[in-house]
Amino acid sequence: MAVGIFDSGLGGLTVLDAVARRLPDVPFVYLGDNAHAPYGVRTHDDIFNLTCGATERLWDEGCDLVILACNTASAAALKRMQETWVPAQKRVLGVFVPLIEALTERQWGDNSPPREVAIKHVALFATPATVASRAFQRELAFRAIGVDVEAQPCGGVVDAIEQGDEILAEALVRSHVEALMRRMPHPQAAILGCTHYPLMQKAFQDALGADVKVYSQANLVAESLTDYLTRHPEFHGSGTRSKFMTTGDPSYVSSKATQFLRRQVVFEAA
């Protein structure tokens, strides 16, 4: 009954950690496409093709349900995958919707018409490809009206995090927050629209100020996945063993992942 977790690199490990704590009896198979990371600067067609290939690899591992724990893949590829590519007996889900449900104070699966919500000014921090897709704004429009979203493409942050350069990552975060706040001086909420960014949540919060509510994804996705599997037990899949796989160098990725999660993580070749 394995569930697949996919990311372009290491960021999805923040989601994996949260869902594994929430669902300790479920095996999770993680696949990082480290050989092609970062996705945030790639074309939508490229992201679509890479994400489909990774998803098929997770299906081979007995994961009938795959979570795209990558905002760029969720933004640039998920809708097209669901509409044109995913077979009826499989499911591929993204990480945007749980975040938007929390922002708009909706219960899981609430498909009622969009309505007014308390938060009117939202800052979105994401990769250039996620920002260009406008997927967050599209999903938000299904659930809320009258919300102003100012998006900031955060070039360089993912690379700095993956390289373990915390000082550079924090400096980039401050720079991107300052750039956004020149356009939206008083956001009420901030969305960290990349699964790498929870590691920089304090830096984002410090730069934004204590009055801004910062929404991060990992725990919200864990709650949503728990609810989904309760309602759809047929997608537990046939896999029985948790594992970590990478398209990159397993030794190098294992070392970086161990630093990333602050516990030993061993990857094998995908």
Indicate the SS3 state at residue 3.
strand
Q: Count other Cβ atoms within 10 Å, centred on residue 252.
A: 12
Q: How many CA atoms lie within 13 A of 42 on its CB side?
A: 18
Q: Which helix (H) or strand (E) is 115 found in, with range?
A: strand 115-116
Q: Compute CA distances 29 → 84, 191, 244, whole Å.
A: 24, 27, 6
Which of 52, 63, 154, 194 is labelled catalytic? 194
Q: How many CA atoms lie within 13 A of 218 on its CB side?
A: 19
Residue 2: phi and psi, rounded to 5, are -80, 150
Q: What whole-number distance in Å separates Cα of residue 203 and Cα of residue 189?
A: 15
Which of 52, 63, 70, 154 is labelled catalytic? 70
Residue 183: phi and psi, rounded to 5, are -95, -30
Q: Is the CB of residue 61 less than 8 Å from the CB of residue 242?
A: no
| Catalytic residue flag (residue 70) | yes
Q: Is the CB of residue 198 less than 8 Å from the CB of residue 216?
A: yes
What are the residue numbers of the active site?
70, 194
